[in-house]
Amino acid sequence: YGLTPLHYAAQRGHVEMVAALIKAGAEVNAQHDLGGTPLHSAAMYGTAEMVTALIKAGAEVNAQHDLGYTPLHYAAQRGHVETVAALIKAGADLEARGKNIGTPLHEAAQRGHVETVAALIKAGAEVNTRGKTPLHYAAQRGNAETVAALIKSGAEVNTRGKTPLHYAAEYGHVETVAALVNAGADVEVRTESDRSSGLGLPTAALFLASLEKDVDVRRLKTGNWTPLHYAAQSGHAETVTALVKAGAEVNARCHLGLVPLHYAAIEDYAAAAVAVVALIDAGADMEARTGGGWTPLHIAVKNRNAETVTALVRAGANIDALDEDGNTPLHVAARYGDSWTLEVLIEAGAEVNARLKNDATPLHLAARYGTTVVAAVLIEAGAE
């Protein structure tokens, strides 16, 4: 990596060795292959005495390496409070930014270093920065104590676009959700809508949009999700419950007209099924339809989410619900070849001879798509 002897000595905190190397002509601002100086190394390893010695010897306190990190970024990132103090005293830029990175306060907040956060704010670091703020970072990581410290220092909880509460909900940080709600976060806040590439949509939204006819996912409007949509999509049942308890609308519709239960029904892991139950217990509409008439049960069947299908069926979802083409969940199971889901639906009383608008039954679809096992299950169940 192109480290000089001075870099190594600075890393290890060998003050006398550093003094000797500099006296012998070592370049105090020498850069390694990524542009980092010995001061970056000292800041990263938290040696305040070394930082002071290097600065006294002429080290550039605001030197940025190739990614834009300053020594203060590294000290804040690692939570080295004394080193942070030494750098600030020497004139370190509290608002320094680099390529795709935030300020030193962002770094400290993201990693939950409360004392470092406090030191930076006390020194005058901006709490409400442009774009994604330190509070966004802390909420995303679930650092409730850091979130509380930032809010106490004036951090704005209801920012534009995707708010800290959206992030906390998406990642299932219940304590952080509670801290934000208690501080006045709007549980019904929505991400902003704008005309954008479909690549900006969550994968779940792309999938749900693809179910609709005549929809170009590349030209969809992005945004308009509530924190509950994010919690549901990510399968965080406790967060779902906390948000609903705080007043979140359980059947809120996003820009695609979809409710949180549609999003929860997509995922195929056990936690998603628990989130589905939490939503239903909170009053989620199991018959909520997509633009094409799909219910959450249709979606769960399409994705072969056995546990979610079972949860919906047990909760009383309409097993013979029709989409706009006449597809029942059983038609969907037959088409996509999932015999296990098919059996769950049949055992629950699904109509095996239900017909599409073109008169096709589930058996027709099984034959058309070559799902032999599914066809056998249907025939045994009385399919004509």
**pLDDT tier at 219 (50, 70, 90 boundaries)?**
very low
194 pLDDT exceeds 70? no
Confidence band (pLDDT; 50, 70, 90) for 49? very high
**203 contacts: CB under 8 Å, gap ≥ 6:** none
Question: How would CATH label the architecture of 1-126?
Answer: Alpha Horseshoe (1.25)
**pLDDT tens digits for 345-381?**
999 999 999 999 999 999 999 999 888 899 999 999 9
Q: Which helix (H) or strand (E) holds 196?
A: none
CB 102 within 8 A of CB 76: no
168 vs 183: CA distance, rounded Å: 14
Which amino acid appears at position 103 of this protein? T
Residue 257: band (very low, low, confident or very high) from pLDDT cuts 50, 70, 90: confident
Sequence spans of domains, the chain? 1-126, 128-184, 187-287
| Three-state SS letters, 111-163 | CCCHHHHHHHHHCCCCCCCCCCCHHHHHHHHCCHHHHHHHHHCCCCCCCCCCC
Say if residue 297's pLDDT is above 80. Answer: yes
CATH fold label, 128-184? 1.25.40
Segment 163-189, tens digit of pLDDT = 999 999 999 999 999 999 999 999 999
Architecture in CATH of 187-287: Alpha Horseshoe (1.25)
CB-based contact 351:334 (threshold 8 Å): no
Q: Averaged over 133-143, what is the pLDDT?
A: 97
Whether 262 has a pLDDT exceeding 90, the answer reads yes
- Amino acid 255: pLDDT: 82
- Per residue in 304-361, pLDDT (tens digit) is 988 999 999 999 999 999 999 999 999 999 998 888 899 999 999 999 999 999 999 9
Closest among 65, 225, 1, 295 to 74, alpha carbons compared: 65
Could you report the per-residue pLDDT of 71-124, keeping only the tens digit for each? Answer: 999 999 999 999 999 999 999 999 999 778 899 999 999 999 999 999 999 999
What pLDDT is stored for residue 198 in this prediction?
Answer: 36
